[in-house]
Structure 1
Amino acid sequence: MSETASSGAGIAPSRQLVAGLVLALANFMVILDLSIANVSIPHIAGNLGITLEQGAWVITSYAVAEAICVPLTGWVAGRFGSVRTFLFSMVGFGICSFLCGISVTMGMLVASRIGQGIFGAFLMPMSQTLLLSVFPPEKRNMAMGLWAVTLLMGPALGPMIGGYLTENYSWHWIFLINLPVAILCIVVGFALLRPIETERQILPIDYVGLALLVLWVGCLQIVLDLGRNHDWFADPMIVALAITSAVGFIVFIIWELGEDHPIVDLRVLRHRGFSVSLTVLSLAFAGYFAGFVVVPQWQQAWLGFPATAAGLSSSFSAMGGLITAPVVAFLMSRLDLRVLVSCGVTWIAAMTLVRTTWTTDSDFWTLSIPQFVQGLGTPFMMLPLMTLTLNTVEENEVASAAGLQSFMRTIATAVATSITLSYWGDTQRIARSDAVAVLQPEAAQASLSSLGFPSEQIRQVLSNMVELEATTLALIHTFWATTAVLLFAAALIWLAPRPSKSGGITMGH
């Protein structure tokens, strides 16, 4: 990478903010599409005449394609140039979004979602890498703060925006809404980003590594997405996919470490600061994301919240992050980054613990305020961790490191979703059995009977009450488990070496 690009001098200071906003907006659009379709699956299934299980492939296809392609970012950017990769990916993402929006069959929709996942996979790490080239060192912390907020806002706002568009317009608009954003990013990106283009390196293609990556990541993502609905390892298909993924992963590691021009540069893991920070980032992000998985579902299915209200409640976390991001950017140049990470993750764990006090009578603000307070601590976790991961690798490894960082966030999201929903469901069944074993319904039955309720309706009312309480108790147990994971991550960061310098994200050493 040229000195001009690495110093941010290639773009005039008056244009740096606009370029940074466009890059952050591109990342937000991709992250948003991970969750925007979740609440629309019943509408999509009904409109296309398919089952809900078939409709789930709208989510799975995107996640699988993205998970496979994210680690390839370093190789693709090196071969074609960072800015070319970003702009071409944005064009592809826009086209595939349009095709999703006009889809009339399940096959067309899934194929278009795969295209979205492929192109979106490169946009996440490239937007992050290019931000480091746009801004000079003294402004990079603030720029990455903006980028991190979009990373956190996507999962929070996705269900709310998706629910609003689906309920008031049509499910087609959850994809068509990407078009103006994509056009804006393409036009502004082409006008402003070309001065920081990186040199192209013509490298041989690691076909074996690429095939192994597709094999093990694809199988793993399908296991994580479908395993819960297939009773996990009670289904021979899930067992076969899990074994294939495990064997493929081992062979992939061995092959890539011995390849001169690997498709995924795993050698960046030799840096202890990068490896530890990446592990902490994965655990902390999974623990943070777990709340976005279960809370909106609990609010909608059991408390009667509309999709827009549930999404708004979750979005308070991102609002809190907007407030403290500038503070964190200021502190990063003055404090040990490990202190900020440990305090931030511990703060999120404490707010997760507060949510164990929720009950079935909790109102909107009782549920939303802890989300907001949790959001205040999120930049303390995300910004220093991203700095630690990218600051501990060589200059020519930044794109590969950013790709692996995005890959681990993607996998952490998938694992958190599967494990959290499975744990929540299993705990709910146990809690329901325990409640039924000690329940003495005679008094309640007599009271309802005196009000004129028929016996069938009385049994249904009592069953609903037990289900509601059991589900809420299971939610509390899920928060306890999540708190333990977060506290472990807060302690683990101290295995990373002390940063040689505080603050500023650099383009390498």
Structure 2
Amino acid sequence: MSAPQSTAPLSGGKLALGTIAVSLAMFMNVLDSSIANVAIPTISGDLGVSVDEGTWVITIFAAANAVSIPLTGWLTQRFGQVKLFVTSILLFVLASWLCGMAPNLPTLLAARILQGVVAGPLAPLSQALLLGSWPKQKSSTALALWSMTALIGPIAGPSLGGWITYDYNWSWIFYINVPVGLFAAAVTWFIYRDRESATRRMPIDGVGLILLVVWVASLQIMLDKGKDLAWFDSPLIVTLAIVALVGFAFFVVWELTEKNPVVDIRLFSQRNFAGGTISISVAYGMFFGTLVLLPQWMQGYLGYRAVDSGLTTAPLGIFAVVLTPIIGRILPRSDPRYIATLAFIGFAAVFLMRTQFYTDVSHWDLVLPTLLQGIPMAMFFVPLTSIILSGLPPEKIPAAAGLSNFARTFCGAVGTSLIGNAWNDRTILHHVRLTEQASVTNPAFMQSVESARQSLHVSTDAAYGLFNFSVDAQAAVMGLNDIFYISAFIFIAIIPLIWITRPSKSSADSSNTAGAH
């Protein structure tokens, strides 16, 4: 996405106010991808659904957002950057209000789909408007501000969501977007309305868009409902799998032959784009999926309130915000592959630390790995973005940024579903193993039950209940540790993808002209 070339940079108060307004819109978008994480158990309880069904609130937003991102380029050329950006903010405000008003899960999910769709243009256009606002020689400063805004979300989202959910009502995690969005839209229009980009009528790849929606929606629903419907024992799951597979195959063939594809798949023929996009997408899927999982475990098995789990995960972004500008200065003088490799090793080390969790784990043992995870986060986005965009001609950069954004966002939704299902399966497996000897015919087991009954002065049924609760908690943490082991292995396993790339010397400069966070 390019900033308008015919307009001079802003200065003084207009530059400051414009930067704040555009950044607020970006912050609002990023915040909504994480603010609901800690509120899922509360939302699920209030709406009378399971936590697994409540997780749809997160995954369906991410999937809808991913589908809409590739449309940003066409919509910008059709309506202009400023009109599209302001309209997206206002529609996001409307969708947020509808989310807060939702009386049941289907209504909430419909509003979240709308919210995800209209949020698609916010990230790339906020970046484009900022780059057009600042002098060219200070574009790195503009991008640093943009990146820091994107990274503050993981800090503010969980803690703010937990506080609002606990002290007020979960609806307010959506209502807070209303005043913020209206302010951002009003100020943006006031400052940027005379800086509109040129527009022209462009054909839209309608068939490609329909195929994209079909296979993404089918795959996401299959992943989210598979566990509840016993996977491939269900005709619905089998049908969804076939539709997703066939839809994806037709989508790939169509996009490869379409003159103006909605997603330019040909970019994957570029080794830098392919290696960088696949690695950043898989890594983000693991990162985001586990980020959703942790609050559920803390609230479900450790007795944490929503606000407590939010504050526990909040330190994630501290090092990320502090170190990102430093990494930005180091990158032009170094090979981004080394920095990205260190990031993946750092992620693996953090996940290995988490494999030591246990049922009465201390608060500090929960906070420390989350705090340290901010270090590889700072070394994660910028170098891989640099690799993805290196060697591409300028006219290909907007399409590359859009496609890498789509892949990363979609993998975040898929990762959340897969990791949630894997945790459930591993928990069930460990529960079965832990209770193999729990039988009335086992004298040792019956003796332990009797001992618990006498020491706690409870009935035999209550003693059985306490035993089962203890086994549930132990199985859950063992399943969680399995997920962390697998995550650490995957981060190490995808490092070779970084090294199939050969970023050019100017790769860092490419990221300063069009990032793809």
- Who is 1:74 aligned against? 73
Shift of 1:152: 4.2
Shift of 1:445: 2.4
Q: 2:451 aligns with which of 431, 434, 447?
A: 447
Whether contact under 8 Å (2:390, 2:503) holds in the other structure is: no
CA distance in 1, matches of 2:419, 2:105: 28
Residues 342-491 of structure 1 mapped to structure 2, 5 A cutoff: 342-437=341-436, 440-451=444-455, 452-491=457-496
- Who is 1:214 aligned against? 213
Whether contact under 8 Å (1:225, 1:414) holds in the other structure is: no
CA distance in 2, matches of 1:412, 1:35: 15
CA distance in 1, matches of 2:497, 2:52: 38
CA distance in 1, matches of 2:179, 2:148: 21
CA shift digits 1:395-452 (9 cap, x unpaired):
2333322222221122111121111111111111222222223565345324323322
Whether contact under 8 Å (2:389, 2:507) holds in the other structure is: no
- Who is 2:513 aligned against? 507
Would you say 1:233 and 2:232 are equivalent positions? yes
Q: Give, as a single letter, the amino acid of the residue that structure 1 aligns with 2:293.
A: V
Unaligned runs of 5+ in 2: 439-443
CA distance in 1, matches of 2:40, 2:343: 35
Deviates more, 1:4-13 or 1:233-242: 4-13
Deviates more, 1:385-394 or 1:436-445: 436-445
Shift of 1:391: 4.1
- Who is 1:269 aligned against? 268
CA distance in 2, matches of 1:105, 1:421: 22
Shift of 1:218: 1.8
CA distance in 1, matches of 2:19, 2:232: 45
- Who is 1:293 aligned against? 292
Judging changes above 3 Å, is the alpha-carbon distance between structure 1 residues 392 and 127 closer, same or farther for their aligned structure 2 residues? farther
Q: Give, as a single letter, the amino acid of the residue that structure 2 aligns with 1:404.
A: L
- Who is 1:302 aligned against? 301
Q: 2:502 aligns with which of 494, 497, 504?
A: 497
Deviates more, 1:276-285 or 1:143-152: 143-152
Whether contact under 8 Å (2:151, 2:321) holds in the other structure is: no
Deviates more, 1:371-380 or 1:396-405: 396-405
Deviates more, 1:415-424 or 1:64-73: 64-73
CA distance in 2, matches of 1:56, 1:289: 13
Deviates more, 1:85-94 or 1:435-444: 435-444
Q: Following TM superposition, where does structure 1 have runs of at least 4 consecutive aligned residues deviating by more than 6 angstroms?
A: 48-54
Deviates more, 1:153-162 or 1:475-484: 153-162
Whether contact under 8 Å (1:345, 1:378) holds in the other structure is: no
Judging changes above 3 Å, is the alpha-carbon distance between structure 1 residues 7 and 393 closer, same or farther for their aligned structure 2 residues? farther
CA distance in 2, matches of 1:486, 1:309: 28
CA distance in 2, matches of 1:29, 1:497: 35
- Who is 1:181 aligned against? 180
Q: Give, as a single letter, the amino acid of the residue that structure 2 aligns with 1:36.
A: I
CA distance in 2, matches of 1:103, 1:453: 43
CA distance in 2, matches of 1:191, 1:23: 12
Judging changes above 3 Å, is the alpha-carbon distance between structure 1 residues 449 and 207 closer, same or farther for their aligned structure 2 residues? closer
Whether contact under 8 Å (1:394, 1:508) holds in the other structure is: no
Shift of 1:303: 1.0
CA shift digits 1:78-99 (9 cap, x unpaired):
3222232212211211122223
Please give the secondary structure, in 2, of the residue aligned with 1:416. helix
CA distance in 2, matches of 1:50, 1:478: 25
Aligned residues: 508
CA distance in 1, matches of 2:267, 2:226: 32
Shift of 1:110: 4.1
Judging changes above 3 Å, is the alpha-carbon distance between structure 1 residues 358 and 184 closer, same or farther for their aligned structure 2 residues? same
Please give the secondary structure, in 2, of the residue aligned with 1:359. coil
TM-score by length of 2: 0.89
Residues 12-51 of structure 1 mapped to structure 2, 5 A cutoff: 12=11, 15-16=14-15, 18-40=17-39
CA distance in 2, matches of 1:73, 1:100: 23
Shift of 1:175: 1.6
CA distance in 2, matches of 1:199, 1:121: 20
Shift of 1:363: 1.2
Deviates more, 1:483-492 or 1:95-104: 95-104
Shift of 1:486: 0.9
Whether contact under 8 Å (1:228, 1:418) holds in the other structure is: no
Judging changes above 3 Å, is the alpha-carbon distance between structure 1 residues 424 and 61 closer, same or farther for their aligned structure 2 residues? closer
Q: Give, as a single letter, the amino acid of the residue that structure 2 aligns with 1:453.
A: V
Residues 116-265 of structure 1 mapped to structure 2, 5 A cutoff: 116-136=115-135, 139-155=138-154, 157-194=156-193, 197-265=196-264
Q: Give, as a single letter, the amino acid of the residue that structure 2 aligns with 1:482.
A: S
Please give the secondary structure, in 1, of the residue aligned with 2:169. coil
Shift of 1:23: 3.2
Judging changes above 3 Å, is the alpha-carbon distance between structure 1 residues 328 and 196 closer, same or farther for their aligned structure 2 residues? farther
Deviates more, 1:166-175 or 1:249-258: 166-175
- Who is 2:338 aligned against? 339
CA shift digits 1:444-485 (9 cap, x unpaired):
324323322321111111111122112111111111100011
CA distance in 1, matches of 2:130, 2:437: 59
Whether contact under 8 Å (1:337, 1:499) holds in the other structure is: no
Shift of 1:143: 3.8
Judging changes above 3 Å, is the alpha-carbon distance between structure 1 residues 104 and 52 closer, same or farther for their aligned structure 2 residues? same
Q: Give, as a single letter, the amino acid of the residue that structure 1 aligns with 2:460.
A: S
CA distance in 2, matches of 1:408, 1:470: 33
Please give the secondary structure, in 1, of the residue aligned with 2:200. coil
CA distance in 2, matches of 1:48, 1:466: 28
CA distance in 1, matches of 2:431, 2:380: 36
- Who is 1:326 aligned against? 325
Q: Give, as a single letter, the amino acid of the residue that structure 1 aligns with 2:481.
A: I
Percent of residue pairs identical: 35
CA distance in 1, matches of 2:505, 2:459: 73
Whether contact under 8 Å (1:128, 1:144) holds in the other structure is: yes
CA distance in 1, matches of 2:158, 2:231: 26
CA distance in 1, matches of 2:103, 2:420: 31
Whether contact under 8 Å (1:391, 1:508) holds in the other structure is: no
CA shift digits 1:163-220 (9 cap, x unpaired):
3223322233122100122122212322344566432231122221222122112212
Whether contact under 8 Å (1:314, 1:368) holds in the other structure is: yes
Q: Give, as a single letter, the amino acid of the residue that structure 2 aligns with 1:414.
A: A
CA distance in 2, matches of 1:213, 1:170: 36
Q: Give, as a single letter, the amino acid of the residue that structure 2 aligns with 1:242.
A: A
- Who is 2:83 aligned against? 84
Whether contact under 8 Å (1:209, 1:255) holds in the other structure is: yes
TM-score by length of 1: 0.90
CA distance in 2, matches of 1:49, 1:467: 22
CA distance in 2, matches of 1:384, 1:280: 12
Whether contact under 8 Å (1:391, 1:507) holds in the other structure is: no
Q: Give, as a single letter, the amino acid of the residue that structure 2 aligns with 1:481.
A: I
Q: Give, as a single letter, the amino acid of the residue that structure 2 aligns with 1:463.
A: N
Judging changes above 3 Å, is the alpha-carbon distance between structure 1 residues 40 and 443 closer, same or farther for their aligned structure 2 residues? same
